[in-house]
Structure 1
Amino acid sequence: MITRRSLAGALAALALLAAPAAAQGGSGKYSELTLGVIPAENASGTTDRYAPLTAYLTKALGVPVKLRVANDYAAVIEGQRAGNIQIAFYGPASFSRAVMTGVKLEPIVNQTHNNGASGYYSVLYVRADSPYKSVEDLKGKSLALVDPNSTSGNQAPRFFLNKAGYDVDKLFGKTVYAGSHENAVLALVQGTADAAANLWNSETDTMVTRMATKGMLKKPDGSQMGQSDFRVIFKSEFLPEGPFAMLASLPDDLKARIRRAFIDLPTADKAAFDRLSDGKDLGFAPVTLKDYQPIIEMLKFNDDQRRKS
């Protein structure tokens, strides 16, 4: 005989079985998670790149994961500070800035590129058809930076150019923040900047090669530009690749599942992993806060220089 009490119990049991994994095992308040991503490229390109990852995480974690493409780097930092973004992809400087300003984070993994390195470089590009052959040639010229919290697009060029004897704000007649790595390259292509700061992974994997693959670099005559149309006139020392990071305040069981999901991604969903880098990365490497201490020191140096100026 089915009574009201037995029916209620059966329905409760069914509801528990149907509930997302995050509602079980101590992760109760997270019926949905948000993955925040810094704007390295335009919003549609970033969405296309990270949508397969969010679908994979939704399946692996058993809870809906939505993607949030930030308008700028600071929006990711502040979203995590407020607890509205539980998982994020950062550049090394924006991650370090978040840690320095009190956001409690745990880095998870960063990407290992096709050259075997879990890191990259900051470069200054000029157009190959320009007369600029050295940093000295750019005195009084214009520079397109990316974002105040970008590593390769602001913090690293300031730091390493200073080490080479150049103050960015005194060397260049004008500096502008383009908002994304793509926009900085486009400023150079369109002639609104004489030089552009950007990331450089390897000869075959740069922001320029990625944009060329997408057909984004056009000469006035309509022909396609490529890596050979740009010249690197300054290159930083090696920088650790930016991490995926999660809030330290998340329940331990949920953090363990998130960490496992990222470690498993390259084999569990190779298509989603390859989409992150257009198939040019080999895998993920676990990282800790210690890996970003050199970047924290770089930011402290730059902050001190700015206060003195």
Structure 2
Amino acid sequence: MINRRLVLASIASVAFAASASAEDWKAKYPEITFAVVPAENASGVSDRYTPFVNYLSKELGIKVNLRVANDYAAVIEGQRAGNIQVAYYGPASFARARLTGVKTDAFVIDVNSDGSKGYYSVFYVLAKSPYQKLEDLKGKNLGLVDPNSTSGNNMPRFKMEQMGVDPDKFFSQVVFTGSHENAVLALVQGTVDVAANWWNADDDSNLTRMLNKNMVKSSDGTLLKKEDFRIIVKSDLIINSPYAYLSDLPDDMKTAIKQAFLDAAKKDSEAYKKLSDGKNQPWQTITNEDYNKTIDLIKFVDSLRKKAS
């Protein structure tokens, strides 16, 4: 009888301590900011993420504020300052954050429909153009996305280096468009002749998402199709994007955040599906070490810039 009472008392004590611990971090963080890099235009990011942020607020029992960053660097600097507790990075921007001393830890990663955890950088041209390979574009305009974008700048520069192409000398102009969507639109509008972008599969890319939303039109208003674009360069596989939280958050808070992400596909399937148009499998755990190769890529691109200067 005494042993049973001791066991029950011990269980109650542990439960009370866990509850008190949860209340401690919630008292310290009654609301947090979840920031997302601008892989697409702000309205598209907000529409895609708002249902999930609502789920996250309910699951954590605190207010979660969605912040759509103006550029990739804003997410890095926001976490550096401690103003962004949870962030969705691109692989290169996360690597840049880690490389420059931001105390942030990756905890889950996007998983493609086939179970893979990577994607590609591709160069698009219009199918009606005469350009069949990169060498055909000497003296033309190149559209990149953002200096901290993996598929929109870092991997393209790495790939071009492998091909013996110095973009700043080979092209007439290198234009940063700010988002992957803007890069596609710049190509359609003729501002650039070739544009870098991300691509998972033939039916899953930034381009196909834009086409599904009727966002891509010619100058006369005609809706364009996938067949109106041609890929002339495709990179090696890039590790998928991570979600990361500040390293110095309370451990039980980080555990709760991570678990909420891992449970999202089951607990709020509609909100989860909206993030990737139903293309992704549930998130899986990831560590900082999984991005070491991406850090090496960033160092390589930095070395190219130093040579150019």
| Same fold flag (TM > 0.5) | yes
Q: Equivalents in 2 of 1:226, 1:199: separation in Å?
A: 17
CA deviations 1:125-178 (Å, max 9, x no partner) are 000000100010011110111000000000000011111221222221100100
Aligned position for 2:126 = 127
- Alpha-carbon distance change, 22 to 212 in structure 1, aligned in 2, over 3 angstroms: farther
What is the identity, as a one-letter code, of the residue corresponding to 2:223?
Answer: Q
Counterpart contact for 1:120–1:241, Cα < 8 Å: yes
Q: Equivalents in 2 of 1:251, 1:266: separation in Å?
A: 25
What is the identity, as a one-letter code, of the residue corresponding to 1:35?
Answer: F
Q: How far apart are residue 22 of structure 1 and its match?
A: 8.6
Give yes or no for the alignment of 1:81 onto 2:83: no
What pairs up with 1:1-150 in 2 under 5 angstroms? 24-150=23-149
What is the identity, as a one-letter code, of the residue corresponding to 1:48?
Answer: D
Counterpart contact for 1:23–1:30, Cα < 8 Å: no
Aligned position for 1:16 = none
Structure 2 residue matching 1:28: 3-state secondary structure: helix
Relative to structure 2, which stretch is displaced further, 117-126 or 215-224?
215-224
Counterpart contact for 2:32–2:85, Cα < 8 Å: yes
Q: Equivalents in 2 of 1:213, 1:141: separation in Å?
A: 29
Q: Equivalents in 2 of 1:213, 1:267: separation in Å?
A: 25
Aligned position for 1:266 = 265
How many corresponding residue pairs?
290
What is the identity, as a one-letter code, of the residue corresponding to 2:149?
Answer: S
Q: Equivalents in 2 of 1:107, 1:260: separation in Å?
A: 13
Q: Equivalents in 2 of 1:33, 1:191: separation in Å?
A: 41
Give yes or no for the alignment of 1:184 onto 2:178: no
Structure 1 residue matching 2:33: 3-state secondary structure: strand
Q: Equivalents in 2 of 1:269, 1:26: separation in Å?
A: 24
- Alpha-carbon distance change, 28 to 224 in structure 1, aligned in 2, over 3 angstroms: same
Structure 1 residue matching 2:28: 3-state secondary structure: coil
Counterpart contact for 1:27–1:253, Cα < 8 Å: no
Q: How far apart are residue 115 of structure 1 and its match?
A: 2.7
- Alpha-carbon distance change, 304 to 21 in structure 1, aligned in 2, over 3 angstroms: farther
Aligned position for 1:283 = 282
What is the identity, as a one-letter code, of the residue corresponding to 1:274?
Answer: K
Q: Equivalents in 2 of 1:290, 1:161: separation in Å?
A: 26
Q: Equivalents in 1 of 2:108, 2:256: separation in Å?
A: 13
Aligned position for 1:160 = 159
Counterpart contact for 1:116–1:282, Cα < 8 Å: yes
- Alpha-carbon distance change, 254 to 131 in structure 1, aligned in 2, over 3 angstroms: same
Q: How far apart are residue 116 of structure 1 and its match?
A: 2.2
Q: Equivalents in 2 of 1:29, 1:102: separation in Å?
A: 24
Structure 2 residue matching 1:148: 3-state secondary structure: coil
What pairs up with 1:225-264 in 2 under 5 angstroms? 225-264=224-263
Structure 1 residue matching 2:128: 3-state secondary structure: coil
Aligned position for 1:302 = 301
- Alpha-carbon distance change, 85 to 64 in structure 1, aligned in 2, over 3 angstroms: same
Aligned position for 1:11 = none
Q: Which runs of 5+ in 1 are unaligned?
A: 1-19
CA deviations 1:183-219 (Å, max 9, x no partner) are 0000001111000000001000111110011111112
Counterpart contact for 1:112–1:282, Cα < 8 Å: yes
Percent identity between matched residues is: 55
What is the identity, as a one-letter code, of the residue corresponding to 1:234?
Answer: V
Structure 2 residue matching 1:222: 3-state secondary structure: coil
Q: Equivalents in 2 of 1:116, 1:137: separation in Å?
A: 36
For normalisation by structure 1, the TM-score amounts to: 0.91
Counterpart contact for 2:124–2:229, Cα < 8 Å: yes
Greater than 6 Å deviation, 4+ residue runs: 20-23
- Alpha-carbon distance change, 186 to 21 in structure 1, aligned in 2, over 3 angstroms: farther
Counterpart contact for 2:139–2:171, Cα < 8 Å: yes
For normalisation by structure 2, the TM-score amounts to: 0.91
Counterpart contact for 2:22–2:253, Cα < 8 Å: no
What is the identity, as a one-letter code, of the residue corresponding to 1:307?
Answer: K
Q: Equivalents in 2 of 1:188, 1:115: separation in Å?
A: 30
Q: Equivalents in 1 of 2:150, 2:183: separation in Å?
A: 14
Structure 2 residue matching 1:24: 3-state secondary structure: helix
RMSD: 1.4
What is the identity, as a one-letter code, of the residue corresponding to 1:107?
Answer: A
What is the identity, as a one-letter code, of the residue corresponding to 2:41?
Answer: N
